[in-house]
């Protein structure tokens, strides 16, 4: 089935099963974006106070990243903060800040992937439990699409970050409820589906087939995986790299996901990838980015944002204005790739 969607400065008509595209303007897929995190911080303080417990980027911060070539961001939000009671109206303060984010992003030519950063849980209860029925999750997504579906800066809906544990058993059914909720009000915008087991690219083959039965009436799903390069792939990077760190470790961890996409004629995305500034980690990330770009698979680096402080994966510039070592690698791929559709290409 074909669908059309305006994205940035181009419009493409895509037949997703065949990866075909007809360009109306200069078509290009933005292959390198950033996670601008902060609005999901401090789960222990709900609803919390803006600027104290959670943080939204300023327009100036978006301008600065725009000037560096960034055209897309993944933006994590907290379900409980946005919707303090299930099946009820959005919190006006938090939703208003998301409104402002979309306005500021549009003013800077930046597109936003809206990410519900909740691990398939609401106040600790998994979606599909008696406390959080599937209908409540569908209601959330209906409200998301109704409020922000017509925003020009909306790139897509990442309907849930990193389902894991007991939520793995209910995620496929929950994801369908999320799709159905979005499509009640938005029949165009892409929906990004993360996998079970923390959306692990390396473990995608364990769970991915459960997502093949998902149905989207406009056939505009993008599957999204995460990959980190430390020994347990958690992204904590508790120790420095081993002396014999395989510089292709990221490629090896991503390949199961990419091969699954190719086998099933699906489109893919890496929602999180980040490393500390050690040269060995940076080399491994460089190789991973080259592989992703070769396959036309977009990624968003984890992470940027105004409140990270000394966080070892942060790509925010240093206090003196100099760039982080991670940015020196990322910028090699910004605006490159010559990809007209999200891959992997055949």
96 φ/ψ angles, rounded to the nearest 5 degrees: -65, -35
CB 39 within 8 A of CB 78: yes
Structure tokens at 188: 């165009």
* Residue 162 annotated to the active site: yes
Residue with tokens 């669908």: 3
Spatial separation of the C-alpha atoms in residues 121 and 171, rounded to whole Å:
10
Query: How many beta carbons lie within 10 A of that of residue 272, not counting itself?
Result: 27
Residue 216: both structure tokens together: 């989207």
Residue 79 in contact with residue 116, Cβ under 8 Å?
Answer: yes
Sheet of strand 20-23, all strands in order from the earlier edge strand to the far edge = 2-7, 10-15, 20-23
Whole-number Å distance between alpha carbons of 183 and 224:
19
Active-site position among 40, 202, 272, 316: 272
Nearest to 293 by CA among 34, 29, 74, 68: 29
**DSSP 8-state code for residue 145:** H
Q: Could you give phi then psi for residue 76, rounded to 5 degrees?
A: -75, 135
- b/e for 243-255, b at 16 or more Cβ within 10 A? eebebebbbbbbb
Return the C-alpha torsion angle 88, 91, 94, 97, nearest 10.
Answer: 100
| Other beta carbons within 10 Å of 283 | 17
Specify whether the CB–CB gap between 26 and 340 falls below 8 A: no
DSSP 286-331: HHHHHHHHHTT--EEEEEE-TT-TT-TT--SPPTTSPPPHHHHHHT
Q: How many CB atoms lie within 10 A of CB 222?
A: 22
Known active-site residue 142: no
**Of the residues 40, 162, 202, 316, which is catalytic?**
162
Active site residues: 162, 272
């Amino acid at each position: 089935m074909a669908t059309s969607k305006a994205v940035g400065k181009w419009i493409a008509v895509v037949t997703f099963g065949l990866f075909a595209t007809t360009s109306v303007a200069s078509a290009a897929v933005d292959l390198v974006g950033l996670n601008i995190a902060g609005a999901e911080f401090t789960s222990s303080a709900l609803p919390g106070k803006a600027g104290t417990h959670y943080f939204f980027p300023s327009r100036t911060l978006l301008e600065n990243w725009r000037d560096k070539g960034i055209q897309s961001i993944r933006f994590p939000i907290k379900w409980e903060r946005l919707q303090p009671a299930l099946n009820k109206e959005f919190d006006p303060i938090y939703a208003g800040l998301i409104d402002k984010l979309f306005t500021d992003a549009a003013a800077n030519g930046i597109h936003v992937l809206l990410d519900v950063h909740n691990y398939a849980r609401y106040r600790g209860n998994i979606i599909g439990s008696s406390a959080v029925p599937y209908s409540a999750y569908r209601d959330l997504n209906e409200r998301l699409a109704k409020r922000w579906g017509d925003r020009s800066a909306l790139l897509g809906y990442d309907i849930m970050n990193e389902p894991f544990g007991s939520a793995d058993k209910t995620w496929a059914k929950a994801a369908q409820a999320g799709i159905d909720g979005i499509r009640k009000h938005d029949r165009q915008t892409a929906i990004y589906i993360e996998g079970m087991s923390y959306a692990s690219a390396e473990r995608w083959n364990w769970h991915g087939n459960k997502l093949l039965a998902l149905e989207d009436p406009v056939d505009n799903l993008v599957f999204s995986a995460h990959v980190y390069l430390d020994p347990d792939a958690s992204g904590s990077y508790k120790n420095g790299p081993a002396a014999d760190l395989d510089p292709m470790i990221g490629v090896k961890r991503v390949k199961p996901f990419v091969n699954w996409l190719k086998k099933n004629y699906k489109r893919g995305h890496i929602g999180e990838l980040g490393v500390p500034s050690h040269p060995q980690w940076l080399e491994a990330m460089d190789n991973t980015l080259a592989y992703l770009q070769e396959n036309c698979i977009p990624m968003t680096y984890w992470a940027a944002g105004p409140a990270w402080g000394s966080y070892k994966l942060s790509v925010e510039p240093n206090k003196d204005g100099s760039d982080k070592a991670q940015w020196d690698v990322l910028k090699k791929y910004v605006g490159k790739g010559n990809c007209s559709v999200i891959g992997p290409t055949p």
